[in-house]
């Protein structure tokens, strides 16, 4: 029995490494082979100089601006929502999973309507192109994530410490001297995550007609068709993204050491100074617009349900293909992530470098993940697999399997480990322990992880665009191609469909997380 358990864990670990880390490892091996085979001059691609250095600095500046704006606005909004505890978190999770290109179309349409009203009155139009527009749209797209992470940081604080401080000082001083320092590690981790998400994706900048380093990787591979060159070109960006991932992980560890203690029930509402109340109103207004503008503009531009139905009918092949890819991606991630989550849970405090290694895919730009899949699977022994409809599934799993593992790991950290120890003692077979104890306990987390992966895979573009087989396209690919021709009723209808599908999957994930929270929390869930 012990031998079979070790064998099953070994097979599961090998498959996880193959699917999640395999593309990056294949790219590294391919680059080493190419350099050793007489292409030593390719090493110059790893040194950002001239235009590439300027592009890297612009990309870092873009991501840093989004992270700063999203974290500041998210923290201010979170201080206003804090009184309602976790009531708003499901809605924030739902909106955080909406693809960024949907926000691009929505805000472009909204600003076009606003400019149509301003220009006849003699006012200059507000451009939504260039770096300013890209920063604004990316910030609005990630604002729910910024608020969510800030709420997590605030809700993890010991309310008894805060209430004790409020007895000795005004609420404004308590905010600056107690709340902000205690929440700073989690806020910094959230800023690192927003920075990372903005740095590895090129969707919003490309639609705003600006170039970023992640798009340069895609262009290099398109021009040379050499995975090794693309990997060497991406090394400067990987150094920055891995540093951001390491920073976020370190801040989360520090945040865990500063939290704890029971919370005071129903504290008195804080009395903020007028200037801070105005900031809160502004942040909440931005959050409300982030939710309302996509739904309103897409609903109006789509020209009614009949036009939406016609657009979806014309794109039915892409819709069905997207559903199949997303469902298969979610199932594959659910098959691989529980073993990784359990392994991390049992060894989470032993080796931080191993923890970071398993989450390297979060720091890999989307185009590089697709190029890595080509380097891994475009081999003579794998030709029956390469170029099939399974490649987009592997692309989604390579990018989002770590996300599923993180969701399950968060659930496991709130589970009594003695229950699993008792299962190992009394189980007759390992599979019976999994079937009768572990899976029922992990069911809410598995449902949430599967829905989150489904929603993320539905909006995935960078890797899928590279590995999609000829004659097949996802709904996201169709929308992205149409967006370059400007807003239209067809594009708005498809984006509205994508929005509703994403909201449905994310809403189911939020409901599962809510059920899990109510079952496992020692607090009154109300």
State how far the Cα of 427 lies from the Cα of 188, in Å rounded to an integer. Answer: 43
Note the pLDDT tens digit of each residue in 341-397: 777 766 655 556 666 777 788 899 999 999 999 999 888 777 778 888 899 999 999
Whether residues 483 and 430 share a domain: the answer is yes
The pLDDT assigned to 424 comes to 58
Whether residues 258 and 339 share a domain: the answer is no
State how far the Cα of 382 lies from the Cα of 118, in Å rounded to an integer. Answer: 59
Of 487, 501, 493, 220, the residue nearest 368 (C-alpha): 220
State how far the Cα of 453 lies from the Cα of 407, in Å rounded to an integer. Answer: 10
Give the CATH number of the domain where residue 126 resides. Answer: 1.10.3720.10
Cα dihedral sign, 503-504-508-509: negative
Average pLDDT, the chain: 82
State how far the Cα of 494 lies from the Cα of 313, in Å rounded to an integer. Answer: 10
Single residue among 273, 297, 321 that ends a domain in this structure: 297
DSSP state of 98: S
Whether residues 434 and 482 share a domain: the answer is yes
Single residue among 275, 297, 319 that ends a domain in this structure: 297
The pLDDT assigned to 257 comes to 47
The pLDDT assigned to 359 comes to 78
For residue 283, is it within any domain? no
For residue 276, is it within any domain? no
Tokens linked to 413: 């950290």
Helix (H) or strand (E) holding 184: helix 180-200
Which CA distances in Å does 176 have to 165, 166, 180, 182? 11, 12, 5, 10
Where do we find the tokens 């801040």?
251
Of 76, 69, 133, the residue nearest 100 (C-alpha): 133
Whether residues 197 and 310 share a domain: the answer is no
Please give the tally of structural domains in the chain: 2
Asked if 181 and 75 count as a contact pair (C-beta separation under 8 A), the reply is: no
Cα dihedral sign, 360-362-368-374: positive
Q: How confident is the model at residue 526 (pLDDT cuts 50, 70, 90)?
A: very low
The pLDDT assigned to 261 comes to 46
Q: What predicted TM-score, i.e. pTM, was given to this entire model?
A: 0.86
Whether residues 118 and 175 share a domain: the answer is yes
Q: Which residues of 446-469 are buried (b: 16+ CB within 10 A; e: fewer)?
A: bbbbbbbbbbbbbbbbbbbbbbbe
Q: Which residues of 117-145 are buried (b: 16+ CB within 10 A; e: fewer)?
A: eeeeeeeeeeebeebebbbbbbbbbbbbb
Least confident of 245-249, 312-316, 429-433: 429-433
Whether residues 186 and 103 share a domain: the answer is yes
Q: How confident is the model at residue 501 (pLDDT cuts 50, 70, 90)?
A: confident
Asked if 452 and 325 count as a contact pair (C-beta separation under 8 A), the reply is: no
Single residue among 251, 273, 297 that ends a domain in this structure: 297
HEC assignment per residue over 345-403: HHCCCCCHHHHHHHCHHHHCCHHHHHHHHHHHHCCHHHCCCCCCCHHHHHHHHHHHHHH
For residue 16, is it within any domain? yes
Q: Distance of alpha carbon 191 from its chain centroid, rounded?
A: 13
Most confident of 52-66, 447-461, 495-509: 52-66
Whether residues 367 and 392 share a domain: the answer is yes
Share of the chain above pLDDT 90, in %: 32
Of 16, 54, 110, the residue nearest 405 (C-alpha): 16
Q: What is the mean pLDDT of residues 418-435?
A: 56
For residue 378, is it within any domain? yes
Whether residues 126 and 245 share a domain: the answer is yes
The pLDDT assigned to 181 comes to 87
What residues contact residue 165 under an 8 Å CB cut-off, 6+ apart?
174, 177, 178
The pLDDT assigned to 425 comes to 52
For residue 365, is it within any domain? yes
* pLDDT top residue among 250 and 335: 335
Whether residues 4 and 83 share a domain: the answer is no
Range of the domain at 67: 47-262+288-297
Note the pLDDT tens digit of each residue in 245-292: 888 877 776 664 444 444 445 567 788 888 999 999 999 999 999 989
Whether residues 52 and 32 share a domain: the answer is no
For residue 236, is it within any domain? yes
The pLDDT of residue 16 is above 50: yes
Q: What is the mean pLDDT of residues 116-120?
A: 81
Tokens linked to 88: 């708003």
> What is the total residue count of the chain?
526
Q: Checking phi first, is residue 228 left (phi over 0); if not, alpha (psi -120 to 50) or beta?
A: alpha
The pLDDT assigned to 396 comes to 93
* pLDDT top residue among 473 and 489: 473
Whether residues 238 and 147 share a domain: the answer is yes
Whether residues 378 and 255 share a domain: the answer is no
The pLDDT assigned to 372 comes to 93
State how far the Cα of 193 lies from the Cα of 147, in Å rounded to an integer. Answer: 12
The pLDDT assigned to 61 comes to 96
């Amino acid at each position: 029995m012990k031998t079979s358990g070790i064998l099953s864990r070994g097979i599961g670990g090998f498959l996880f490494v193959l699917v999640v880390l395999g593309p990056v490892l294949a790219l590294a091996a391919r680059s080493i082979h190419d350099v050793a085979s007489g292409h030593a001059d390719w090493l110059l691609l790893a040194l950002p100089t001239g235009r590439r250095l300027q592009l890297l600095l612009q990309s870092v500046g873009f991501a840093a601006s989004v992270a700063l704006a999203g974290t500041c606005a998210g923290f201010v909004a979170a201080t206003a929502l804090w009184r309602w505890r976790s009531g708003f978190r499901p809605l924030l999770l739902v909106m955080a999973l909406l693809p960024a290109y949907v926000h691009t179309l929505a805000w472009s349409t909204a600003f076009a309507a606003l400019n149509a009203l301003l220009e006849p009155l003699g006012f200059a139009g507000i451009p939504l192109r260039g770096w300013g527009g890209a920063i604004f749209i990316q910030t609005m797209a990630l604002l729910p994530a910024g608020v969510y992470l800030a709420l997590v940081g605030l809700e993890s604080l010991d309310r008894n410490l805060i209430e004790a401080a409020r007895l000795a000082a005004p609420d404004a001083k308590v905010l600056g001297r107690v709340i902000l320092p205690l929440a700073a590690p989690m806020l910094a981790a959230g800023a690192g995550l927003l920075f990372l998400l903005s740095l590895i994706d090129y969707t919003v900048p490309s639609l705003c007609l600006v170039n970023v380093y992640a798009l340069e990787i895609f262009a290099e591979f398109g021009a040379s068709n050499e995975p090794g060159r693309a990997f060497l070109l991406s090394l400067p960006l990987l150094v920055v993204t891995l540093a951001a991932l390491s920073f976020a992980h370190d801040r989360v560890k520090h945040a865990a050491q500063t939290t704890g203690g029971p919370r005071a029930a129903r504290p008195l509402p804080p009395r903020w100074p007028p200037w801070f109340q105005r900031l809160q109103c502004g942040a909440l207004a931005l959050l409300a617009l982030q939710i309302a503008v996509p739904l309103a503009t897409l609903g109006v531009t789509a020209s009614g349900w009949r036009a939406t139905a016609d657009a979806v009918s014309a794109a039915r092949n892409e819709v069905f293909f997207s559903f199949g890819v997303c469902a298969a991606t979610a199932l594959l991630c659910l098959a691989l992530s529980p073993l990784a989550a359990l392994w991390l849970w049992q060894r989470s405090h032993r080796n931080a470098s191993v923890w970071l290694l398993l989450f390297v895919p979060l720091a890999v730009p989307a185009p590089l993940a697709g190029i890595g899949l080509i380097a891994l699977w475009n081999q003579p022994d794998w030709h029956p697999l390469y170029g099939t409809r399974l490649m987009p599934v592997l692309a989604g799993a390579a990018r989002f399997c770590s996300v599923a593992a993180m969701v399950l790991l968060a659930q496991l950290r709130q589970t009594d480990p003695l229950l699993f120890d008792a299962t190992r003692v009394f189980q007759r077979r390992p599979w019976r322990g999994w079937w009768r104890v572990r899976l029922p306990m992990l069911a809410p987390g598995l449902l949430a992880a599967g829905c989150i992966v489904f929603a993320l895979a539905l909006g995935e573009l960078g890797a899928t665009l590279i590995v999609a087989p000829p004659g097949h396209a996802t709904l996201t690919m169709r929308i992205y191609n149409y967006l370059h021709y400007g807003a239209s009723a067809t594009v708005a209808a498809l984006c509205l469909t994508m929005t509703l599908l994403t909201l449905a999957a994310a809403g189911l994930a939020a409901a599962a997380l809510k059920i899990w929270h109510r079952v496992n929390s020692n607090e009154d869930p109300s």
